[in-house]
Amino acid sequence: MLTEIPPQAVTYVFKRPNGTEVVYNLATLMDYCLATGNFLEPESRIEFSDAELKHMDCLAAKAKLHKDSIFEAKQNPQRYDEIHFRVDAVSGLERCAGELVVEMLSVVENEDPEEGQVKLVMYLFPSFADFYNQIHAADSRFAAMCMEHFTSFLKGPPNKPTVDECGFLPIILQFFDRVKNGEQTDFGF
């Protein structure tokens, strides 16, 4: 949505309560609303009023954009129940996997080598693999983005990389690669 609007595009101007105005490509904004079931201004998350949705429908009809009515779509929330459930479920899985990644970082930074190894092999690796595989089955692109984030988090920022005195970090990153590639893991070292 934050891209340059083509010169011939039909636009919609949204006026926020604070007086600022945002210009959207109407076709793109309607596609967003219809695809997600979110009838909110994408940047501020302010809900569009019914009058605003009707106005967008009217502009689209005049411009012959051949779009479904977003006002009517909003009146039928059951249409989006499955989409919202799926997004919530995948987000929940990502949060669970993220908590395990935080625990993995704690192992890298704080654990005794033997206790850390046992914690990784017996609990963290199997649980993470299960959550990640569920995310991947639901949305492979989102799973790839999550894995990038998890890997970046474990490595730490370039100006202050993660301190790894016991050598756990390469093992975890190799495990991540194997899980990402769909390889079966024995969770051993």
- Please give the pLDDT value at position 186: 61
Tell me the backbone φ, ψ of residue 91, rounded to 5 degrees. Answer: -65, -40
Query: pTM higher than 0.75 for the full model?
Result: no
State how far the Cα of 151 lies from the Cα of 169, in Å rounded to an integer. 10
Q: Is the pLDDT of residue 83 over 90?
A: no
Number of H helices, E strands in the chain: 8, 2
Tokens 């990644």 sit at which residue?
101
| DSSP 8-state class, residue 124 | I
Q: Is the pLDDT of residue 188 over 70?
A: no
What does the pLDDT average to over 49-63?
Answer: 96
Give per-residue pLDDT as tens, 2-21.
678 988 899 999 999 999 99
Q: What confidence category does residue 189 fall into, taking pLDDT thresholds of 50, 70 and 90?
A: very low
